[in-house]
Amino acid sequence: MLRSTERAVIPSNGASRMGISNKKDRIFGGAVIVDSLMKYFNELATLLDQEQAFDKAQHEALLLQRSVQERIALGMTWLPIAITNSELGRGDYLTITVNKTNHPEEGHQFRFGMPVSLFSNHNPQQDRLHGVIAFASRDTMRISLRVDELPAWSRGGRLGVDLLFDENSYKEMHRALDEASLALTDKKQGNLIRQLLGETDVRESPPNPAYENDSLNASQNKAIAHILGENPLSILHGPPGTGKTTTLIYAVQALLKQRPQQLLIVAPSNTAVDVLTERLDAVGVSVVRIGNPVKVSDHLQELTLDARVDNHASHKTIKTLEKQARAYLDMAHKYKRNFGKAERDQRKALFDEARKIRKEIDQMLDYIVQDVLAKAQVITATLVGANHYTIRDRRYQTVIIDEAAQALEPACWIPILKADRVVLAGDHCQLPPTVKSSHQTTGGLYHTLFEKLVARHPIHVSLLDVQYRMNAQIMKYPSLAFYADHLQAAPTVAHWTLRGDDSPILFIDTAGGGFEETVVDHAISNEEEARFLRNHLASFVTSLNMPLTDPAFPSIGIITPYRAQSLYLRELIAQDDRLQPYTKQLQVNTIDSFQGQEKDVIYISLTRSNAKQEIGFLADTRRMNVAMTRARKKLIVIGDSSTMGHHDFYGGFLDYIDSLAKHRSVWESHNV
């Protein structure tokens, strides 16, 4: 018998958790409704202020307290860099192109639109020039600077670029909250906000049109039919492996076929936007990506607005004008500091002529940008990118927000305010959004708009209930714990296992083994558990008895909730001669880093083992939902039942394991 566990159902009082007035308040009329929602948006703004202050303090402390080498390792500094080009850019900004000269293959955190600081290593405190990233790839960056020419210090010594705190994202979120408050008194736009937040009921809609596609299952077809209806809101709830992205792609195709329109599709992360952009292009949808992709892909770069503008037929004229402007600038820069009035006037005249040409270029660029955007069926961007200056004033019949359950609510209002109707896709039973200012994962900014709308409008929620990833035994407990046992495994995966294996799921109990956790500077690890996992893994890959070249050789992921444990596991595995041949098949990381991935085999090191039964943020069981559902054919969980079993979710998991007779002890020698 399973213990009671957390379910996917949000408490029925979700609307009251939103800070929204109840039905009793509504009898006093529209004024009470508007006042209540204004208070709601003010409370969101206060939470956002707290997050911004905390985030900024953390970022500035990091820049001040970390060495340059540490900042480089964190992907927050490029040093040294080489300036390979400079030109007068849009709006009289000087645009420079810089390249990393060391370790170009290493990742970094620099993204389009973020503020940066160019500095000299001779005097990094004073020799600084701030700018904004106009383009960023793996090893190249274009930076817009509000100066006519680079300072003298940029021509000597080693130069670097620091990533500054991103005020712009917070400004856009605050602007959206302000606009939402003001829109409450607007009959048309305010009506959508009131409908979404539950102050007025979502209007009755005609029956959804029929939609049948043999490539999709019944729940996917039903979800698309709802999206094609006249509902102002559709919620696509996609548990792990249920084909949420595939369903969205078919839904977009169906919407475009239903009526001519332009769609805006957004997501909180650049990676999610990249995936959608590539998938839409692959099925023949005309898509324009706003901003720079994170993925290093030439084809994806070609789908960006910048690339589409560069490839436009009218862009040749701009190239000619840019050469003329550069010629005037080159002549102006030949004048040195010591010259007379005539030289000064001539220099000014040359700059003025360059600016005049630049204005012509800007006008042509505006025309080309609008032409490119007008011909696009779909525009894709991040949530904040939906307010990029090129698309800020556009409105859309339908806005789709993917991964909405991982998005901060203030960011969601940026695209929603541009919509007549909205589609939200995601899964609130997986990882929540990243909130730096609070560790309380049940309220504040952790409580997403997706969750609130699922609670308020259950009839507009479409649950995808067939998963195509996991063996049915691996799927069963997450389905029971999070999805009210509604998930079913597709026949193609329900019984798949590793070759010769009859145990798709296994729990190895460290209780009584003396595997105590250690805590150093708030970093939690469990060295004995890590060493046991390393040895078990070595025995496991040997027992597979197949060469690495065999197509059936499984991919393997090792997941742990704690960064210190993942670092120690990586070190152990890297030093083990038995595992050296298999390093390309092994990936070790934290749960948060594994969302969106899947492996044939998943090991989970729960890490926690203490006499007080303290499990920390593992009490937010959404993390374990992510971890368990990464496995396709085999899941091996290692942990201390005496520490974890007191929590309902983990106790229920142990009961499920016992029902399958798959509970093993570290003392058992035949533990593979």
pLDDT for residue 138: 85
Integer Cα distance of 230 and 423 in angstroms: 12
Within a domain: 37: no
pLDDT for residue 91: 63
For residues 496 and 620, membership in a common domain is answered with: yes
For residues 476 and 608, membership in a common domain is answered with: yes
For residues 141 and 75, membership in a common domain is answered with: yes
pLDDT for residue 124: 82
pLDDT for residue 296: 62
Asked if residue 312 lies in contact with residue 369, where contact means CB atoms within 8 angstroms, the answer is no
Asked if residue 197 lies in contact with residue 31, where contact means CB atoms within 8 angstroms, the answer is no
For residues 254 and 266, membership in a common domain is answered with: yes
Q: What is the CA radius of gyration of the chain?
A: 28
**Helical ranges in 214-304 per DSSP H:** 218-228, 244-258, 270-282, 298-302
For residues 435 and 423, membership in a common domain is answered with: yes
For residues 489 and 460, membership in a common domain is answered with: no
pLDDT in tens, 388-441: 999 999 999 999 999 999 999 999 999 999 999 999 999 999 998 989 998 777
For residues 532 and 606, membership in a common domain is answered with: yes
Q: Looking at 6-10, 242-246, 552-556, which range is the least confident one?
A: 6-10
For residues 254 and 368, membership in a common domain is answered with: no
DSSP state of 314: T
Q: Looking at 228-232, 412-416, 575-579, 593-597, which range is the least confident one?
A: 593-597
Integer Cα distance of 544 and 501 in angstroms: 9
Of residues 341 and 166, more confidence is placed in: 166
Q: Which of 444, 465, 497, 479 is nearest to 635 (CA)?
A: 497
pLDDT for residue 337: 55
Asked if residue 279 lies in contact with residue 250, where contact means CB atoms within 8 angstroms, the answer is no
Question: Is the pLDDT reported for residue 577 higher than 50?
Answer: yes
Question: Is the pLDDT reported for residue 569 higher than 50?
Answer: yes
Last residue of a domain, one of 126, 148, 165: 165
Within a domain: 25: no
Determine the average pLDDT of the residues in 127-132.
92
Within a domain: 48: no
Integer Cα distance of 325 and 89 in angstroms: 10
Within a domain: 547: yes
Q: Which amino acid is at 449?
A: L
For residues 147 and 204, membership in a common domain is answered with: no
Last residue of a domain, one of 464, 480, 508: 464
Instruction: Render 521-578 in DSSP notation, one character per residue.
Output: TTEEE-HHHHHHHHHHHHHHHHHT---TTSTTPPPEEEEES-HHHHHHHHHHHHH-GG
Would you tell me how many other CB atoms lie within 10 Å of the CB of residue 147? 13
Integer Cα distance of 319 and 306 in angstroms: 14
Determine the average pLDDT of the residues in 588-605.
92
Model's pTM, two decimal places? 0.87
Q: Which of 542, 553, 555 is nearest to 631 (CA)?
A: 555
pLDDT for residue 403: 97
Q: Looking at 169-178, 249-258, 440-449, 593-602, which range is the least confident one?
A: 440-449
The CATH number that applies at residue 133 is 2.40.30.270
Cα end-to-end span (Å), the chain = 27
The CATH number that applies at residue 200 is 3.40.50.300
Last residue of a domain, one of 411, 438, 464: 464
Of 317-321, 333-337, 500-504, the range with the highest mean pLDDT is: 500-504
For residues 456 and 493, membership in a common domain is answered with: no
The three-class DSSP label of residue 479 is: helix
Asked if residue 98 lies in contact with residue 136, where contact means CB atoms within 8 angstroms, the answer is no
Asked if residue 263 lies in contact with residue 377, where contact means CB atoms within 8 angstroms, the answer is yes
Determine the average pLDDT of the residues in 28-54.
86
Within a domain: 49: no
Within a domain: 329: yes
Per the structure, the complete domain to which residue 328 belongs is given by 311-375
Of 195-209, 405-419, 511-525, 545-559, the range with the highest mean pLDDT is: 405-419
Within a domain: 14: no
Within a domain: 624: yes
For residues 107 and 229, membership in a common domain is answered with: no
Integer Cα distance of 275 and 2 in angstroms: 38
**Which helix (H) or strand (E) element contains residue 358?**
helix 341-375
For residues 559 and 600, membership in a common domain is answered with: yes
Phi/psi at 663 (5° precision) = -100, 115
Count of domains forming the chain:
4
